[in-house]
Amino acid sequence: MAKVLVSDSVDEAGIKILTQVAQVDIKTGLSEDELTAIIPEYDALMIRSGTKVTEKVIQAADNLKIIGRAGVGVDNVHVPSATRKGIVVVNSPEGNTIAAAEHALAMMLSLSRHIPDANQSVKEGKWDRKSYIGSEVYKKTLGVVGLGKIGSHVAKVGKAMGMKILAYDPFISQERANQLGCTLVDLDILFSESDYITLHIPKTKETANLINAQSLAKMKPHARIINCARGGIIDEDALYETLKEGKIGGAALDVFASEPLGESKLRELGNNIILTPHLGASTAEAQVNVAIDVAEQIRDVLLGLPARSAVNIPGLSPDVMEKLRPYMRLAETLGNLVGQLAGDRVESLNVKLQGDLADNSSQPLVTASLKGLLSKALRERVNYVNAAIEAKERGIHLVETRDATIKDYSNSIYLEAVGTKGTHAVTGALLNDGEIRITSINGFPVNVPPNTYMLFTLHRDVPGIIGKIGSLLGNFNVNIASMQVGRKIVRGDAVMVLSIDDPLPEGVLPEILKVGGVTDAYTVSL
């Protein structure tokens, strides 16, 4: 039975799903060394933001197939190492959107009405109404940095509260901004015109320290900034100085450059800062959503099915996935076949997607072809996650072409590879019942199903050759399951495809090559 390690606290609803297919161990609070020591036992790892899945952990994760992040951000996972090792990384892109958006809005209202401090003062026995005069958000300007899932919800609610919404997001269309009732502006305008600024962007090279001494200096003296996105987007030292000197109105932070927040000058500040311990996703509803979403994906991957929200393989909608699944098998089989025909050190692969497959949603078929091509060398080490990287690292030049006009079969895949045995090309299609057919070899039309053991000969189409090869195989006790000849012109060049019941014994291929008229012969196993 597969083994899943759950190393952060996740909702029971997710654990229930995992236990249907795996033995589930829950071990939270592990150090990097402790996790590295036990990870080789596990097929899947389920985490939140607490577990740091470092390169070192991934190096040791020899059986790991999937890392499931019960939440959005995967910045605590070394995704390039996971990809390199063929480990799929999934998340729950939408499960905690509302929770995070509502936390940002709660922060905004808490800042404007001093709720945390007023609460504290009442609990201390005081009845101080003068110190906590607030301000309304109505008719104020809210600057939303990042108009993705969370930013959009914040913008909508802000709008409903009567706020004017400015937004900065270089990857969002004007049309989307219009739909949300936001005015797209550049960052400087957002900084200088907003009364509240809320961050909803990932932490990337571009966004690290986006809020720094210079940007803070551009803000209104009463402006308040909220970060419920990621630590490190705000320079905490610069924020501390700015707040200490009273140059902006306040800040509310849910996330920090280093978590858990250790010694920090931010803790020394007074009522102009609100700090929460990364609670954006911590609602009962969000935790059920993300746990179910990610546990289902772990279950599916352990059962050999694709994941719907993988961050390191292209995501596909369920209907596209349904259409492509049988063709993935076809592409892999053809990749495996052409790779064996082309020999070692394959230097290029041309993948041509034909007929109805010639649209962009068929991209995974290219990956499947590469996976098939590399499977001889890498066996189960190659998968849909790392096939493209492995091919690139081996210097395999990939050419992708599409031709919707080729309709010999309504959908077909053509692969051409160049290796130590020269240039070879195969085409394949699916029959109505989903059965795979190899429909051409090196340009010769055939119609054969793939078989575990196959023999291909290239020969002159002259009488007697087929008989001679048949008798030769008989002499070596090789049983032929099926045989087909493909040729373009009578008595020209031809290809013979034989399905045989067992691997071709040593020494048979050189004998076949000695038969007069045979120009080449190959044995493959699919």
Ligand X SMILES: NC(=O)c1ccc[n+]([C@@H]2O[C@H](COP(=O)([O-])OP(=O)(O)OC[C@H]3O[C@@H](n4cnc5c(N)ncnc54)[C@H](O)[C@@H]3O)[C@@H](O)[C@H]2O)c1
The site for ligand 3PG (CB under 6 A) is made up of 48-49, 70-73, 96, 278, 280-282
Q: Catalytic annotation on 230?
A: yes
Residue 169: which of ligand X, ligand 3PG, none does it interact with, CB under 5 to 8 A by kind? ligand X
Residue nearest to ligand 3PG (CB): 71
Shortest CB 308 distance to ligand 3PG, Å = 17
Distance CA 521, CA 510 (A): 9
Shortest CB 106 distance to ligand 3PG, Å = 15
Residue 310: which of ligand X, ligand 3PG, none does it interact with, CB under 5 to 8 A by kind? none
Distance CA 44, CA 40 (A): 10
- For ligand X, give the closer residue by CB, 155 or 478: 155
Name the active-site residue from 41, 259, 400, 511: 259
Shortest CB 318 distance to ligand X, Å = 20
Distance CA 258, CA 6 (A): 22
Shortest CB 71 distance to ligand 3PG, Å = 3
Q: Catalytic annotation on 222?
A: no
Closest CA to 464 of 520, 523, 516: 516
Distance CA 74, CA 90 (A): 9
- For ligand X, give the closer residue by CB, 232 or 335: 232
Residue 146: which of ligand X, ligand 3PG, none does it interact with, CB under 5 to 8 A by kind? ligand X
For 479-483, which contacts have Cβ atoms below 8 Å and span 24 or more sequence positions? 481/451, 482/448, 482/451
- For ligand 3PG, give the closer residue by CB, 59 or 283: 283
Distance CA 277, CA 284 (A): 16
Shortest CB 321 distance to ligand 3PG, Å = 24
Residues forming the site for ligand X (CB under 6 A): 72-73, 96-97, 100, 145-151, 168-172, 200-202, 206-207, 228-230, 254-255, 278, 280-281
Residue nearest to ligand X (CB): 148
- For ligand X, give the closer residue by CB, 230 or 371: 230
Task: Count Cβ atoms below 10 Å from residue 475 Cβ, excluding itself.
Answer: 10
Backbone angles phi, psi at 31, to 5 degrees: -80, 170
Quote the distance between the C-alpha of residue 477 and its chain's center: 49
Strands (E), 54-151: 66-69, 88-90, 141-145
Token pair 């060398």 in the structure block, residue:
377
* Three-class secondary structure of residue 191 per DSSP: helix
Residue 202: which of ligand X, ligand 3PG, none does it interact with, CB under 5 to 8 A by kind? ligand X
Residue 137: which of ligand 3PG, ligand X, none does it interact with, CB under 5 to 8 A by kind? none
- For ligand 3PG, give the closer residue by CB, 153 or 278: 278
| Alpha helices (H) in 270-350, listed in sequence order | 284-302, 318-342
- For ligand 3PG, give the closer residue by CB, 20 or 28: 28
| Whether the Cβ atoms of residue 13 and residue 33 lie closer than 8 Å to each other | no
Shortest CB 185 distance to ligand X, Å = 12
Distance CA 385, CA 374 (A): 13
Shortest CB 281 distance to ligand X, Å = 4
Task: Count Cβ atoms below 10 Å from residue 13 Cβ, excluding itself.
Answer: 14
- For ligand 3PG, give the closer residue by CB, 180 or 281: 281
Closest CA to 414 of 403, 425, 430: 425
Burial of 437 (0-12, 13-18, 19+ CB in 10 A): middle
Name the active-site residue from 48, 69, 224, 278: 278
Q: Catalytic annotation on 113?
A: no
Residue 30: which of ligand 3PG, ligand X, none does it interact with, CB under 5 to 8 A by kind? none
Q: CB neighbours of 192 closer than 8 A, spacing ≥ 6?
A: 218, 219, 220
Name the active-site residue from 103, 230, 424, 459: 230
Residue 48: which of ligand 3PG, ligand X, none does it interact with, CB under 5 to 8 A by kind? ligand 3PG
Q: Which residues are annotated as catalytic?
A: 230, 259, 278
